[in-house]
Amino acid sequence: MTLEQEVEFTFARSSGPGGQNVNKVNSKAVLRWNPLESQCISLANIPRLLRIAGSHCTTENEIIIMSDRFRDQLRNKEDCLEKLRAMIETTSRPPKPRKKTKPSRSSVRQKHESKRKHSQKKAARRGSYED
Protein backbone atom coordinates (compact mmCIF):
# COMPACT_ATOMS: atom_id res chain seq x y z
CA MET A 1 0.00 0.00 0.00
CA THR A 2 1.41 3.40 -0.94
CA LEU A 3 1.43 6.54 1.15
CA GLU A 4 -1.11 8.22 -1.17
CA GLN A 5 -3.56 5.35 -0.53
CA GLU A 6 -3.17 5.57 3.26
CA VAL A 7 -3.83 9.29 3.65
CA GLU A 8 -7.26 10.88 3.82
CA PHE A 9 -7.91 14.32 2.38
CA THR A 10 -10.59 16.86 3.21
CA PHE A 11 -10.95 20.26 1.63
CA ALA A 12 -12.04 23.61 3.05
CA ARG A 13 -12.26 27.25 2.10
CA SER A 14 -8.82 28.74 1.92
CA SER A 15 -7.50 31.88 3.56
CA GLY A 16 -4.65 32.00 1.05
CA PRO A 17 -4.40 33.65 -2.37
CA GLY A 18 -7.27 33.60 -4.81
CA GLY A 19 -9.14 36.90 -4.58
CA GLN A 20 -12.92 36.56 -4.76
CA ASN A 21 -12.46 32.93 -5.75
CA VAL A 22 -11.49 32.17 -2.12
CA ASN A 23 -15.10 32.64 -1.03
CA LYS A 24 -16.43 30.11 -3.54
CA VAL A 25 -13.91 27.27 -3.89
CA ASN A 26 -12.65 24.72 -1.35
CA SER A 27 -8.97 24.88 -2.27
CA LYS A 28 -7.37 24.34 1.16
CA ALA A 29 -6.19 20.72 1.53
CA VAL A 30 -6.15 18.98 4.92
CA LEU A 31 -4.25 15.68 5.07
CA ARG A 32 -4.93 13.14 7.84
CA TRP A 33 -2.67 10.13 8.34
CA ASN A 34 -2.28 7.61 11.14
CA PRO A 35 1.30 6.28 11.18
CA LEU A 36 0.39 3.51 13.66
CA GLU A 37 -1.80 1.87 11.01
CA SER A 38 0.63 2.53 8.18
CA GLN A 39 2.69 0.04 6.24
CA CYS A 40 4.92 2.76 4.75
CA ILE A 41 6.97 3.37 7.88
CA SER A 42 8.74 0.96 10.23
CA LEU A 43 7.56 0.63 13.81
CA ALA A 44 10.98 1.76 15.07
CA ASN A 45 10.64 5.14 13.34
CA ILE A 46 7.08 5.93 14.51
CA PRO A 47 7.96 7.46 17.94
CA ARG A 48 10.56 9.70 16.30
CA LEU A 49 8.08 10.72 13.58
CA LEU A 50 5.46 11.66 16.19
CA ARG A 51 8.07 13.71 18.06
CA ILE A 52 9.11 15.50 14.85
CA ALA A 53 5.46 16.09 13.87
CA GLY A 54 5.00 18.03 17.12
CA SER A 55 1.92 20.26 16.87
CA HIS A 56 0.76 18.44 13.72
CA CYS A 57 0.07 15.36 15.86
CA THR A 58 -3.28 14.79 17.61
CA THR A 59 -3.88 12.94 20.88
CA GLU A 60 -4.88 9.88 18.82
CA ASN A 61 -1.40 9.96 17.17
CA GLU A 62 -2.89 11.09 13.87
CA ILE A 63 -0.83 13.54 11.82
CA ILE A 64 -2.70 16.47 10.30
CA ILE A 65 -1.05 18.66 7.66
CA MET A 66 -2.73 21.64 5.98
CA SER A 67 -1.83 23.64 2.91
CA ASP A 68 -3.43 26.69 1.32
CA ARG A 69 -0.36 28.10 -0.42
CA PHE A 70 -1.78 27.69 -3.89
CA ARG A 71 -5.02 28.69 -5.58
CA ASP A 72 -6.01 25.20 -6.66
CA GLN A 73 -6.85 22.07 -4.74
CA LEU A 74 -4.52 19.71 -6.58
CA ARG A 75 -1.35 21.71 -5.90
CA ASN A 76 -2.30 22.11 -2.22
CA LYS A 77 -2.86 18.36 -2.04
CA GLU A 78 0.61 17.73 -3.52
CA ASP A 79 2.09 20.26 -1.10
CA CYS A 80 0.61 18.34 1.87
CA LEU A 81 2.06 15.08 0.56
CA GLU A 82 5.48 16.73 0.10
CA LYS A 83 5.44 17.98 3.70
CA LEU A 84 4.56 14.49 4.94
CA ARG A 85 7.26 12.86 2.79
CA ALA A 86 9.81 15.33 4.17
CA MET A 87 8.84 14.38 7.73
CA ILE A 88 9.15 10.67 6.95
CA GLU A 89 12.49 11.26 5.20
CA THR A 90 13.79 13.03 8.30
CA THR A 91 12.91 10.07 10.52
CA SER A 92 14.46 7.51 8.19
CA ARG A 93 17.93 8.99 8.74
CA PRO A 94 19.28 8.36 12.27
CA PRO A 95 20.28 11.49 14.19
CA LYS A 96 23.97 12.32 14.34
CA PRO A 97 25.50 11.40 17.69
CA ARG A 98 26.62 14.39 19.70
CA LYS A 99 30.38 14.78 20.06
CA LYS A 100 31.49 15.97 23.46
CA THR A 101 33.75 18.99 23.26
CA LYS A 102 35.88 20.82 25.78
CA PRO A 103 36.34 24.58 25.93
CA SER A 104 39.61 25.71 24.43
CA ARG A 105 42.52 26.57 26.69
CA SER A 106 42.34 30.25 25.71
CA SER A 107 38.58 30.48 26.45
CA VAL A 108 39.15 28.95 29.90
CA ARG A 109 41.99 31.43 30.51
CA GLN A 110 39.77 34.35 29.40
CA LYS A 111 36.97 33.20 31.71
CA HIS A 112 39.34 33.03 34.70
CA GLU A 113 40.85 36.39 33.81
CA SER A 114 37.39 37.96 33.63
CA LYS A 115 36.44 36.47 37.01
CA ARG A 116 39.68 37.73 38.54
CA LYS A 117 39.10 41.29 37.26
CA HIS A 118 35.50 41.25 38.50
CA SER A 119 36.71 40.07 41.92
CA GLN A 120 39.34 42.85 42.06
CA LYS A 121 36.72 45.45 41.11
CA LYS A 122 34.44 44.33 43.93
CA ALA A 123 37.35 44.11 46.38
CA ALA A 124 38.30 47.70 45.53
CA ARG A 125 34.82 48.84 46.55
CA ARG A 126 35.27 47.35 49.99
CA GLY A 127 37.09 49.84 52.02
CA SER A 128 37.66 50.44 55.65
CA TYR A 129 34.78 52.43 57.06
CA GLU A 130 36.41 53.74 60.17
CA ASP A 131 34.68 56.64 61.75
pTM above 0.75, yes or no: no
Residue type, 110: Q
pLDDT tens-digit profile of 46-75? 889 899 888 989 899 899 999 988 888 899
Domain ranges of the chain: 3-92
pLDDT at residue 92, as a whole number: 84
- CATH code: domain 3-92 is 3.30.160.20
Cα 114 to Cα 42: distance, rounded to the nearest angstrom = 52
* The pLDDT of residue 131 is above 60: no
Mean pLDDT across the chain: 88
Cα 33 to Cα 10: distance, rounded to the nearest angstrom = 12
pLDDT tens-digit profile of 12-58? 887 766 677 777 788 899 999 999 888 888 888 888 989 988 898 98
H-run or E-run covering 11: strand 8-12
